[in-house]
Amino acid sequence: MIVAVDATNLLHDERGMGRYVREVLRRLRSRVELRLVTEHRDTESRRGYAYALGYYDAPLVSARKTGADVLWYPWNLTHFSPALPYAVTVYDVAPLQFPNPSPWVRWREQRRLRRSVSGATAVITVSQFTRGEIVERLGVEAARIRVAGGAPAAIFQPGEPERLPEYLVEHPYLLYVGAVERRKNLSTLLAAQERIYPQTGVPLVCAGGAVPERPGVHSMGYVEEPMLLSLYRGATALVMPSLYEGFGLPVLEAMACSTPVVASRRTSLPEVGGDAALYVDQPGDVEAWGEALRRICTDANLAADLRARGPARAAEFTWEQTTDVTLEALQAAAAS
């Protein structure tokens, strides 16, 4: 089977979504023939795609001349009009749950999301929670949706942090990994950290988006994967205060490194973390988050229990399983 893949974001998407797509493609390439649909087919772009996929000879094609049996849109929407049966991977329906304040942007994002799933022969998603969201909010028949969750990359394992900034070496710290968006609930976390920092002396390190620094808060912005690995390994805990997540890949990455996780008991996060995380039942409650942060910083028995549970929970999710389900969806779409 020949699979054409929308490669629009493949080279520059460093979010969990980008890591997800690259991990699946690296495994799909031994099972199907891949052709990447892209506007850029120069030598430099080819080197970038080779690095992303782990091999050099994936054909780069235009949307109109794929020669494929099926098309996979892995970016939550369709970037160009399909000329083939297609499957689309939807990670969340955030444009509906947390709409953009701009009426024009809101209309465009919601329209593209609805259009993407309405024409898909198969829909792939990353959690049972998001599957329910797609059924309820987008009206897709449940039988058309397959769940292919994410997994931690092989690099994420327990060990010593080797690349920490000097100010973090041999110092406890809490870690937040993610963008600065309203649904990430970072404002509640920062307010809770401001309350408990004078008591614990444990700073919060934010990796991903830029956060204004203040006493007890360090902002690192985007970090490369080797630095992210060291941050996980050295952290007292990963904190995930989100109000809405389609999956929550940092939870599994931290657990794979034997790092305790504190997360909101909301949307997909309990599904991913299982019994290996400490949950905050009221994620918008600053006092509840402050108590959870204080506990994970001061209760050695709790931290040790979560460190022991994490790797086993993370091992329940594998990229091989994700790839198997993705391939089943693509085969179903091709046969339609």
| Each residue's pLDDT tens digit, 308-334 | 999 999 999 999 999 999 999 999 999
User: How large is the angle between the packed helices 225-234 and 249-256, nearest 10 degrees?
Assistant: 70
pLDDT value for 18: 87
User: What pLDDT score does 81 carry?
Assistant: 87
The owner of tokens 């992303």 is 52
pLDDT in tens, 149-193: 999 999 999 999 988 998 898 899 999 999 899 999 999 999 999
133 or 163: whose pLDDT is higher? 133
Tell me what pLDDT residue 57 has: 77
Whether residue 225 is predicted with pLDDT greater than 80 in this model: the reply is yes
How high is the pLDDT of residue 293? 97
- Measured in degrees and rounded to the nearest 5, phi and psi for residue 274 equal 55, -140
pLDDT at residue 3, as a whole number: 96
pLDDT at 173: 97
In 3D space, the residue among 215, 231, 137, 140 whose CA is nearest the CA of residue 178 turns out to be 231
Model confidence, pTM: 0.92
| Cβ contacts of 101 within 8 Å, gap of 6 or more | none
- 237-240 β-sheet, strand order: 217-221, 204-208, 174-178, 237-240, 261-264, 278-280
Q: Render pLDDT for 94-131 as a digit per residue (tens, 0 to 9).
A: 999 999 899 999 999 999 999 999 999 999 999 999 99
pLDDT score at 50? 84
Q: What domains are there in the chain, each with its CATH number? A: 2-151+318-334 (3.40.50.2000), 166-315 (3.40.50.2000)
User: How confident is the prediction for the chain on average, in pLDDT?
Assistant: 93
Kind plus residue range of the DSSP H or E element containing 278: strand 278-280
Please give the pLDDT value at position 72: 97
pLDDT digits (tens, 9 = 90+) for 29-45: 989 999 999 988 777 88
Cα-Cα-Cα-Cα torsion 264, 268, 269, 275, nearest 10 degrees, comes to 120
Q: What pLDDT is recorded for position 277? A: 98
Across 244-269, average pLDDT: 97
Give me the percent of the chain exceeding a pLDDT of 90. 76
- DSSP tag of 289: H
* Residue 241: band (very low, low, confident or very high) from pLDDT cuts 50, 70, 90: very high
How much is the average pLDDT of 230-257? Answer: 97
pLDDT confidence tier of residue 16, bands split at 50, 70 and 90: confident
Neighbouring CB atoms inside 10 A of 6's CB total 23
| C-alpha distances in Å from residue 252, one per residue of 18, 150, 154, 273 | 16, 9, 12, 7
